[in-house]
Structure 1
């Protein structure tokens, strides 16, 4: 049985200000740097976010599929001819497009890719995220260019002045103590769209499948 914490976004709660909040549905495990003893610090954030999404898929879609290791993810990318042979065993990062391919291969689930040219244009996709969490409830992966650190998006809040995304950050290194510890240290947080970098583009991967609780 996995020792990973589950549903760590719950410690962030819902936004207390007026507005609308939409959250991930169903259970998932929190994957992060070194969580399985494999040292991927500095390059593995995309893989860890993918593993978190795969854990959600395993719980809510198909429990016959195991969460793949980083090496298994790389091998899948090579077999799909998306990456060259020397990608397996490397420290090359992956982004939203690779995450989309692996999810489709493992679970036969399509994903929608949304590209945003720069941070101050994230407002243009708020309603798309609202629709996604309202209809599907599956976790979203977000990666970028300058802000290249991949992260999980577990919810969106639409306030009167600004929208916020509920971030689950895979860059944590250490033994999880409690969900509250991760929240207090900022590994789980609500981040306003105005705090994202305007100098970076962003890609989001939205799995198009409903949680069991949504069906």
Structure 2
């Protein structure tokens, strides 16, 4: 087996040894990080139910390169739940199934299946479109750009769609979910859902303590990475 690949039977795992936590975004209020509310404060959250997928949650070790796959799985669970599936775990694609989908549409060569290659916004778009017939609007945020200026776009998105948003960067650890937006005066915060948790989370509070769920000011994002923000277009 070539270096940087893993057995495809491991990539196929969709057996979760413990119940995945759901709707973890509802746990943390903006007051945990944002300044006190005033008459110009607004908070928006992802609407609907979804599961928190994270590094190794299915017994497959993907820490260090799999964060975008895990966030894509969380977004997939939001889509599946929104459409009323009663078997969300089985319907959400495994890492292997994501890689196979990307190969089947011709975007990557067959050697991609079983690799440790990360994915980005385009692969997320293609996977959601192929598996669920859901397209994404993609916003590009350049290095050192001011993410705050995109607040109005995100606000309208949460109002109109209320989806689970995905951010993909140019670094392997730069992918994360966005499940909320808080605007207080001229300050803007995003509710980050970070998949970089290894082990079995005993509670949502443990995820908060590890920084995997956090309100983050827009000025704290784009410095070492650009970001592509994926907005699933499903009402």
TM (norm. structure 1) is 0.92
Q: State the 1:11 CA deviation.
A: 1.6
Aligned with 1:12: secondary structure?
coil
- Under a length normalisation based on structure 2, what TM-score does the superposition of the two structures give? 0.84
Indicate conservation of the 8 Å contact 2:22/2:49, yes or no: yes
**Structure 2: 5+ residue stretches without partners:** 1-15
* CA displacement 1:91-146 (0-9 Å, x = unmatched): 00011111111001111111101101124321221111000111001101001125
Question: Which stretch shows the higher mean deviation, 32-41 or 11-20?
Answer: 11-20
SS in structure 2 of the partner of residue 29 of structure 1 = coil
In structure 1, the residue matched to 2:136 is 111
1:32 aligns with 2:57: no
Corresponding residue number in structure 2 for 1:169:
194
Higher Rg: 2
SS of the equivalent of 2:43 reads: strand
Between stretches 95-104 and 40-49, larger displacement belongs to 95-104
> CA RMSD, aligned part only?
1.7
Residue deviations 1:146-181, cap 9 Å, x none?
A: 585200000111122420110000010010101111
Deviations 1:164-201 (A, max 9, x none): 11000001001010111111221100000111133421
Matching residue within 4, 21, 28 for 1:12: 28
- How many correspondences in the alignment? 210
1:100 aligned residue (119, 122, 125) = 125
2:77 pairs with 1:55: yes
- Tell me the equivalent position of 2:12: none
Contact conserved, 1:50 with 1:99, CA < 8 A, in 2?
yes
Q: Distance in 1 between matches of 2:144 and 2:201?
A: 31
Change (3 A) 1:110 1:77: same
Q: What SS does the corresponding residue of 1:120 show, helix, strand or coil?
A: coil
